[in-house]
Structure 1
Amino acid sequence: MGSALPLGDPAPPDGLLPAGTAELSHGHPFGVYLHVPFCRVRCGYCDFNTYTSTELRGAKQLDYAGQAIREVGFAAGVLEGSGVDARPVSTVFFGGGTPTLLPAHQLVSMLHAVADTWGLAPGAEVTTEANPDSVDARYLADLAAAGFTRVSFGMQSAVPRVLQTLDRTHDPERVPQVVGWARDAGLQVSVDLIYGTPGESLDDWSRSVDAAIAMQPDHLSAYALIVEEGTKLARQIRSGVYPEPDDDLEADMYELVDARLGAAGYEWYEVSNWSRASAAPIPRVAAPPADALTGPATPATEYRSRHNLAYWQGHDWWGVGPGAHSHVGGTRWWNVKHPAAYADRIFAGVSPAAGRETPDAGSREIERVLLLARIRSGLPIASLGPEASREVAGLIADGLVNAKAAFAGSIELTLRGRLLADAVVRRLT
């Protein structure tokens, strides 16, 4: 979630959604994203809407859970008042920032508010992001006991020099320890890696990938570094402190991680995401108690991030917190950015939304293709228009789309196609 908010139409103080939203929302799964906008330090590459203690300007970190809970209640009123069907929540995701800077009981109280307001679907996925230096075994056990099912650790790299360039503060040797604690608590584990950091060599990246695989996480994300304007890293590159990222080296890094993960039993399901193959589950040392909020446990063989899949598949979600984005029935909106401004609106009982938009049919189709093409076999060819359908044969001939999957009726990018995903989307829209 970038820090710059898009332009859009004003959002009404009561937050009610436009006519027709309820009809377009009908039948869609519903998720909740809770943005916790606090970090101990600001990483030099980060453009997310996050704040250190010196940037809060009157907002208090320990007041935040209560404010988020108020927005959950406000959200329920908006959806009911807009005629949107009440649905149990399929996925809950705590992102940031660093959600685990808050005490565990505050994250649990926010989860309880979501469950008490809408209910959680059987087997609901409940994830929190965490920095490796922000949790201990007791913290993770408390989350699991309360119904969290999954934790995503920001590993980024196993090489201290690379972490220093990124301004990451954790000790890479701590990551296997926290992964072990999470697994002992019965949580599924994901680790995030970043490749293409200035000065990072292919050997550095190979070391990080091997270190991640050695921990046997259930899920792994690998993202190419994007140098965002206005960040410390962008200024350092501009002034010559660090070199520009090398596109060819980044392509080599992507090919390396895909090959290593495939050999280790992981399957790609989205361009930047891999999960453990369903035939190779990791044994669980413990499991959440039977009375946990999530109801029946998620099947042990489902390791993909269902919350992120919901974004790519165009499902409905409500985003809670400063700068959080929401999408219900084709209408999108985004909250004010600063925690102090957010708190003012929440306590005034008015919508925290800064703006909203309802894209037209053409824009929605471009977005649909862009997102679904990134998912393995996620885009049905029958759903494409005549011109786009005619492009499929050429994409197969160019080695960008898997021929077998295309003959079965869906677009599945080849390795080359994943490296050139934007070009594929342009040909299909």
Structure 2
Amino acid sequence: MEGMPSALPDGEPVPEDGSLPAAALDGSAGRPLAFYLHVPYCATRCGYCDFNTYTATELRGSGGALASRENYAATLAEEIRLARKVLGDDPRPVSTVFVGGGTPTLLPAADLGAMLAVVREEFGLAPGAEVTTEANPDSVDPAYLERLRAAGFTRVSFGMQSASPHVLNVLERTHTPGRPEACVAEARAAGFEHVNLDLIYGTPGESDADWRATLEAAVAAGPDHVSAYSLIVEEGTRLAGRVRRGEIPMTDDDVHADRYLIAEEVLSAAGFSWYEVSNWATSTAARCRHNELYWTGADWWGAGPGAHSHVGGVRWWNAKHPGAYAQALAAGRSPGAGREVLTAEDRRVERILLELRRAAGCELSLLHTAGTAAAARALADGLLDPAAYDEGRAALTLKGRLLADALVRDLVD
């Protein structure tokens, strides 16, 4: 699932009014504009989670009423209004909105609808705009989903992770097996045309059979989009502690590769096509357009604690803690904690890093001499598609997808 990492980079200060360098909006008319709305609350913290999220216990006595979720929608609305001031008379309507977390559906559906309404009031939504929220399977019911759909949400993404009880137990997920699949049916009944299931592979103790059963259960549920991510054991998490103490084994890279191949096999047989290394969809319309904007360098404003934004080569990030975030807005200040202005080289490298992961690949013209030589070697090794290469693009083969992280390091040189 989407989420904001718990660690923030260093950077230069953000002006108190949040203003951007004038050059940031140069050429903006040709770039889509999106919003990411971060909801930092969770009922419990999963053992593998390193996102910027907080349980009620973690917030108690730390930020007081400002950090509470009861008035969070109103607080977030203040940042959306700040975005309108910062972007001035920018006429672009919003192409996509993604509400992530945390667990956005811990808030009442009316609160999520209110947050979306402020985006609509301040900026307008483009015709056919995609509006997504993440949801935990045990935090919604049919009535809740119907209210979301009525509020203007067009897409919902459920965190399934696994169909295996023992895998869910290692991940410390609270939903029962079978509940995510039921949620897909409930979302369809509520009128959602686009439904995603998020899966995780490579959990300690998971077998190939467990993973295959998870994929088959996900496909049988009838979503039109599946995301499958390899588990990363992040330092500081409870899962990392269990691995360090030898309570559970670390899954090795070869197993991760085998699981990815199983995912490609099962999903492609079911009519899904990959369009990004970790994402499969049943059609072009089913792809997550919001994520595609991230991968192609569009402009987006990330509202919420720890949320990251990017407009015209300027990237900034908000204060992490909900209390500090709310306090800044209450004082009339930007909640931005730091920012960086990307150089032309930064943007070139980012384009390669992000675009290579897409089925369309990246333009070979982005590569420098060493990168061009690396691409030629990758082509000879079967990592890049020859037809795309002849058209001037570096596009991954299935073998290349397995080695994408290593290959991209060679191409950016």
Q: Same fold (TM over 0.5)?
A: yes
Q: How many percent of aligned residue pairs carry the same amino acid? A: 58
- Asked if 1:17 is matched to 2:20, the reply is yes
Among candidates 379, 383, 405, match of residue 396 of structure 1? 379
SS in 1 for 2:339: strand
- Asked if 1:220 is matched to 2:203, the reply is no
Task: State the match for 1:78 in structure 2.
Answer: 86
TM-score w.r.t. length of structure 1: 0.92
SS in 1 for 2:35: strand
- Asked if 1:66 is matched to 2:74, the reply is yes
Residues in 2 aligned to 1:327 and 1:87: alpha-carbon distance in whole angstroms: 15
Task: State the match for 2:267 in structure 1.
Answer: 261
Are the counterparts in 1 of residues 184 and 222 from structure 2 also a CA contact under 8 Å?
no
Q: How does 1:123-134 map to 2 (within 5 A)?
A: 123-134=128-139
Deviation at 1:277, TM superposition (A): 3.3
- Asked if 1:272 is matched to 2:272, the reply is no
Residues in 1 aligned to 2:177 and 2:402: alpha-carbon distance in whole angstroms: 28
Task: State the match for 2:408 in structure 1.
Answer: 425
Task: State the match for 1:193 in structure 2.
Answer: 199
The farther-off stretch of 389-398 and 416-425 is: 389-398
- Asked if 1:416 is matched to 2:383, the reply is no
- Asked if 1:93 is matched to 2:98, the reply is yes
Deviation at 1:106, TM superposition (A): 0.4
Residues in 1 aligned to 2:404 and 2:318: alpha-carbon distance in whole angstroms: 30
Task: State the match for 1:247 in structure 2.
Answer: 253
Residues in 2 aligned to 1:19 and 1:232: alpha-carbon distance in whole angstroms: 44
Q: How does 1:374-389 map to 2 (within 5 A)?
A: 374-389=357-372
Deviation at 1:386, TM superposition (A): 4.7
Letter in structure 2 aligned against 1:64: Y
Are the counterparts in 1 of residues 182 and 221 from structure 2 also a CA contact under 8 Å?
no
Residues in 2 aligned to 1:69 and 1:43: alpha-carbon distance in whole angstroms: 28
Are the counterparts in 2 of residues 198 and 242 from structure 1 also a CA contact under 8 Å?
yes
The farther-off stretch of 360-369 and 63-72 is: 360-369
Among candidates 88, 102, 126, match of residue 107 of structure 2? 102
SS in 2 for 1:322: coil
Residues in 2 aligned to 1:99 and 1:240: alpha-carbon distance in whole angstroms: 34
Are the counterparts in 2 of residues 46 and 231 from structure 1 also a CA contact under 8 Å?
yes
Task: State the match for 2:173 in structure 1.
Answer: 168
Letter in structure 1 aligned against 2:251: P
Are the counterparts in 2 of residues 24 and 330 from structure 1 also a CA contact under 8 Å?
no
- Asked if 1:49 is matched to 2:32, the reply is no
Among candidates 25, 37, 41, match of residue 34 of structure 1? 37
- Asked if 1:306 is matched to 2:289, the reply is yes
Task: State the match for 1:119 in structure 2.
Answer: 124
Deviation at 1:26, TM superposition (A): 4.1
- Asked if 1:181 is matched to 2:186, the reply is yes
Task: State the match for 1:343 in structure 2.
Answer: 326
Cα deviation code 1:32-55 (max 9, x no counterpart): 000000000000100000000112
- Asked if 1:204 is matched to 2:210, the reply is yes
Cα deviation code 1:314-358 (max 9, x no counterpart): 100000100000000000000001111111011111000000001
Deviation at 1:361, TM superposition (A): 1.7
TM-score w.r.t. length of structure 2: 0.95
Letter in structure 2 aligned against 1:30: L
SS in 2 for 1:221: strand
Residues in 2 aligned to 1:330 and 1:24: alpha-carbon distance in whole angstroms: 11
Task: State the match for 2:342 in structure 1.
Answer: 359
Cα deviation code 1:143-200 (max 9, x no counterpart): 1112110000000000010001001000112122111010111211000000011111
Residues in 1 aligned to 2:153 and 2:101: alpha-carbon distance in whole angstroms: 17
Task: State the match for 1:368 in structure 2.
Answer: 351
The farther-off stretch of 24-33 and 238-247 is: 24-33
Are the counterparts in 1 of residues 161 and 199 from structure 2 also a CA contact under 8 Å?
yes
Equivalent pairs, count: 403
The farther-off stretch of 406-415 and 328-337 is: 406-415
SS in 2 for 1:85: coil
SS in 2 for 1:198: coil
Deviation at 1:409, TM superposition (A): 2.8
SS in 2 for 1:20: helix
Letter in structure 2 aligned against 1:201: S
Task: State the match for 2:10 in structure 1.
Answer: 7
Residues in 2 aligned to 1:15 and 1:180: alpha-carbon distance in whole angstroms: 43
Are the counterparts in 2 of residues 36 and 95 from structure 1 also a CA contact under 8 Å?
yes
Are the counterparts in 2 of residues 11 and 356 from structure 1 also a CA contact under 8 Å?
yes
Residues in 2 aligned to 1:172 and 1:13: alpha-carbon distance in whole angstroms: 47
SS in 2 for 1:122: strand
C-alpha RMSD of matched pairs (Å): 1.2
Are the counterparts in 1 of residues 41 and 69 from structure 2 also a CA contact under 8 Å?
yes
Are the counterparts in 2 of residues 25 and 330 from structure 1 also a CA contact under 8 Å?
no
Q: Which runs of 5+ in 2 are unaligned?
A: none
Letter in structure 1 aligned against 2:245: S
Residues in 1 aligned to 2:318 and 2:305: alpha-carbon distance in whole angstroms: 6
